[in-house]
Amino acid sequence: MNRMIAISILQSLLCFFSFVSCSANDTEGIDDPVTYAKVPLGDPFILLHNGTYYAYGTQSADGIVVYTSDDMENWRIPSLTHGNLALYKDDVWGDRWFWAPEVYEIDGTFYMYFSADEHTCVATSDSPLGPFVQENKVPIIQEEKSIDNSLFIDEDGKAYMYFVRFNDGNNVWVAEMTEDLKGVKEETFTKCINVSQVWEEVWPRVNEGPFVKKHNGLYYMTYSANSFESPMYGVGFATSESPYGPWVKYEGNPILQSPGQLIGAGHSALFYGKDGALYKVFHAHNSAQSIHPRKMYISKVLFKSGNKDFDVMEIESEYITPVIGN
């Protein structure tokens, strides 16, 4: 074990013993989120719809919150039936641990994919502000726990869900979705990636937060590795010629880890801005002293040629720090 890895492990262990807690701790002390200048979201996702940005993420014990913005930098707290909850726990399956939402507009309906009580779920609404409701209050995958579900629709119209299973640590799987986008074809379950690179082995065995995009005919999956509690949480990417894999991780990973003054940066999603540029939204620790409440940040993403087999995805080290109330 080299000195660098040993130091990283020590840092992560210190973080664990000092601050160990589950994602639900993002809800502590956020009864009035406007008291935080930065947007207090873990596992963030951004939807651009009709000129407005909508940010969703892990924050509330009672459901999924939403913030709105015109420019990605200044965010507002909408006034909804249940505060700024786009999804309220009484309208869906589960009563705790509402994590990692993603929202997509498809044929006039908004689909929110999220985790509740460590099960993947989907709810729908006719507005990006909600309310998001489950008609049948059951998880997408009922037989086992799974989290961090992410939708990808290919050019041929087939839809896939990437998600995390708890076998040999956290690892990423994929399944083809049913036509109504509310279920999966279990016979198509396929393992995508697990911990396999040195930088991912700090603590513990985690590959999670997948997000897939197609670029120049190749599938790119960004993912996070190491525990979200670790200062060494970061983002890598893998490529494949098929939605099912095999996936090959980029040798230059991680492409995002401790940018600037941030630590614990990870669980990200891609989106296009009004300027047509590609961006990545991610969270980082509250500070060097505390993990929660995690905060949302945004960086521009580029694909650069030079590799003989594929364009390399790069995340710019400079980032936007979204704030509330301006």
Q: Which amino acid is at 119?
A: H
- Give catalytic residue positions: 43, 208
Q: Which two tokens stand for residue 130?
A: 């909600």
Alpha carbon of residue 17 to chain centroid = 25
Q: Which two tokens stand for residue 226?
A: 């190491």
Q: Which two tokens stand for residue 81?
A: 């039936």
Q: Which of 150, 156, 210, 203 lies closest to 181 in space, CA to CA?
A: 150
